[in-house]
Amino acid sequence: MHPYPHTYNVAASGGASGPVSVTAAGLPEIRTEPPPQFDGPGGAWSPESLLCAAVADCFILSFRAYARVARFEWLQLECQVEGTLERVERAAQFTAFRTHATLTVPPDAAIERAHQLLEQAEQGCLIANSLRGSRALEAQVLVRQPGVT
């Protein structure tokens, strides 16, 4: 890892209506629209969905790092983040993030250790740690039997 501070540069461009183009050097463009809850067309990424995606992505990457350090073998991690947006003191803000995680492990995996690593990943996620909303993790660990795909 590079020493801190880390700097990330992103640009956005848009007109009076239509999509907004989000870009960063060396990365594909993302086109966003307001979500249907804000009278957007739907069917496109929005700032709200991107924020929840960042929490989910960071959770998985954090788990990957903790599992690597612990030499914990695992097969798959699926994650869904539900963000709750509310009006607080006349301003809209996310007040809660609920992470639903399903970890699949081989038959010889230590289930309690799996749960500990999932908790560490939730607590160590730098994106979630940068947000105000409360957080909750609902995790389950599934054991994949040999020969089952």
- Print pLDDT tens along the chain (149 aa): 899 999 999 999 999 999 999 999 999 999 999 999 999 999 999 999 999 999 999 999 999 999 999 999 999 999 999 999 999 999 999 999 999 999 999 999 999 999 999 999 999 999 999 999 999 999 999 998 877 66
The domain that holds 83 is classified in CATH as: 3.30.300.20
Is 118 part of any domain? yes
SS (H, E, C) 67-136: HHHHCCCCCEEEEEEEEEEEEECCEEEEEEEEEEEEEEECCCCCHHHHHHHHHHHHHHCHHHHCCCCEEE
In one-letter notation, the amino acid at residue 68 is: R
Is 39 part of any domain? no
Q: What is the pLDDT of residue 57?
A: 98
Q: What is the pLDDT of residue 149?
A: 65
Is 71 part of any domain? yes
Structural contact between residues 48 and 84, judged by C-beta atoms closer than 8 angstroms: no
Is 18 part of any domain? no
Which residue segment(s) compose the domain that 109 sits in?
A: 47-143
Is 109 part of any domain? yes
Is 28 part of any domain? no
| Residues whose CB is less than 8 angstroms from the CB of residue 94 and which lie 6 or more positions away in sequence, other chains included | 51, 83, 84, 85, 86, 131, 132, 133
Instruction: Count the domains in the chain.
Output: 1
Is 119 part of any domain? yes
Distance of alpha carbon 135 from alpha carbon 83, whole angstroms: 9
Helix (H) or strand (E) holding 51: helix 47-70
pTM: 0.93
Q: What is the pLDDT of residue 146?
A: 73
Is 1 part of any domain? no
In one-letter notation, the amino acid at residue 121 is: A
